[in-house]
Structure 1
Amino acid sequence: MRKFRTNRLWQIIYPIVVYYLLYNVFFVALRLLFGAHASHLFLLGIASLLTIPFCYGIYKKAPIVRAEKVWDKETFPRECLYILGVVALGLILNFIISHTPLVAYSSGYAQANATLYAGGLLTKIFANCISIPILEELVYRGIVCGQLSLWYDEKIAVIISAFCFGIMHFNVVQFLYGFLVGLAIATVYIKTRKLWVVIVAHGLTNFIVVILASLG
């Protein structure tokens, strides 16, 4: 029984470790290749793209439940509503949390925010709305939440995967936001078992935030 539990724990930790190490190794390599003058955010976006195939390989082999049809015109309207729900929640939480005292006291958030909103608009869209959301949804929803939902109650899977998603942002403000939004995204994933739905929800939320930040 202990060995079985250890194996379960490893199945959750392993993909996160692979994702984190490869992502950072690729980023450092790109930094050395292009030099300090290169856009930090652009390099993060490229590092995400390079990491995706490795994490997708883990996802394909993971013992998880997948939707029988990736695209279904009968369920599409409901999936669009799920996406809009996540986007609405994400925008509301982003507004509320960004106006709390936590922001002023979190140096980690200030540094992360400066990185995520540095560079041109196309760079922000590429990294924040495309490459990074694809990678994060693949890992936290596809692999972590997908496997946990087979072993435990679906609510437990949602909570643990959201916690992992939040904690890996390494600052209190983004942890709070990531955890709360992660609960919604993981719930949508459990209901649909479709990665594209949560990727679009995540990417679209970030896209609107990026556009609003650029306009404001």
Structure 2
Amino acid sequence: MNNRAFTLNQIKLHAIWALIGALSALVLTLIFNATGLTSLESFQGPESRLYSISNETAILIMVYCFATPLVEEILFRFFLFNFLNRHIKRAAIAIILTAALFGIYHLHPVQALYGFLMGLIITYSYYRHRTLSIPLVVHITANAFALVYTLL
């Protein structure tokens, strides 16, 4: 019985963080649209290259909603955050630095800002729960929202 309750609690926790990921992506998208950031070339360029991977929606979903978040979470949260947190010994600074590097990694100014802000949320979720599954869920839902928004 306890094992089942733990599983239900974990499912609820992951669902809450999935909602946080989706709502964060929605709010940032609305703010970026309202401020005109999404009309800048630095945003339009990468968005227009979305189909350079594939015209197949299933492949785009696999790449943007599963493969990319998995690789980025291992790289940025598991390796980079843990390294920074271990050496700096101040979680807040390690979270900010990890998020900043995550933003810079996206290479385009608008996406860098978006990546930094989402990186703060995702990295905090990893710090808070010390498991990759939660930031992975946040990342997947944020990317899924962004992909659906882009495809519509």
If the TM-score is normalised by the length of the shorter chain, which range does it land in? 0.7 to 0.9
Q: Is the 8 A contact 2:47 2:150 kept in 1?
A: no
Unaligned residue ranges in structure 1 (runs of 5+): 1-71
SS in 2 for 1:145: helix
* Higher-RCO chain (CA-CA 8 Å, sequence separation at least 6): 2
Does the alignment pair 1:73 with 2:10? Answer: no
Q: Percent identity?
A: 27
Provide, for residues 14-44 of structure 1, a one-character-per-residue CA deviation record: whole Å limited to 9, x for no partner.
xxxxxxxxxxxxxxxxxxxxxxxxxxxxxxx
Matches within 5 A, 1:115-154: 115-117=49-51, 119-151=55-87, 152-154=89-91
Whole-Å Cα distance in 2 between the matches of residues 210 and 104 of structure 1? 17
Whole-Å Cα distance in 2 between the matches of residues 212 and 110 of structure 1? 13
CA shift in 2, pair 1:113/1:212, >3 Å: closer
SS in 2 for 1:194: coil
Unaligned residue ranges in structure 2 (runs of 5+): 1-5
Provide, for residues 51-86 of structure 1, a one-character-per-residue CA deviation record: whole Å limited to 9, x for no partner.
xxxxxxxxxxxxxxxxxxxxx527512343223212
Shift of 1:156: 0.6
Aligned to 1:110: 44
Q: Is the 8 A contact 2:65 2:140 kept in 1?
A: yes
Provide, for residues 151-173 of structure 1, a one-character-per-residue CA deviation record: whole Å limited to 9, x for no partner.
22111111000000001111111
Whole-Å Cα distance in 2 between the matches of residues 102 and 205 of structure 1? 18
Whole-Å Cα distance in 2 between the matches of residues 128 and 181 of structure 1? 15
Whole-Å Cα distance in 2 between the matches of residues 167 and 100 of structure 1? 21
What residue identity is the alignment partner of 2:39?
A
Shift of 1:211: 2.4
CA shift in 2, pair 1:212/1:103, >3 Å: closer
Whole-Å Cα distance in 2 between the matches of residues 137 and 200 of structure 1? 10
Q: Considering fraction of residues, name the structure with more helix.
A: 2
Shift of 1:127: 1.0
SS in 2 for 1:178: helix
| Correspondence for 1:163 among 90, 100, 117 | 100
SS in 2 for 1:180: helix
Aligned to 2:125: 188
SS in 2 for 1:73: helix
Shift of 1:135: 0.6
What residue identity is the alignment partner of 1:203?
I
Q: Is the 8 A contact 1:145 1:161 kept in 2?
A: yes
Q: Is the 8 A contact 2:14 2:137 kept in 1?
A: no
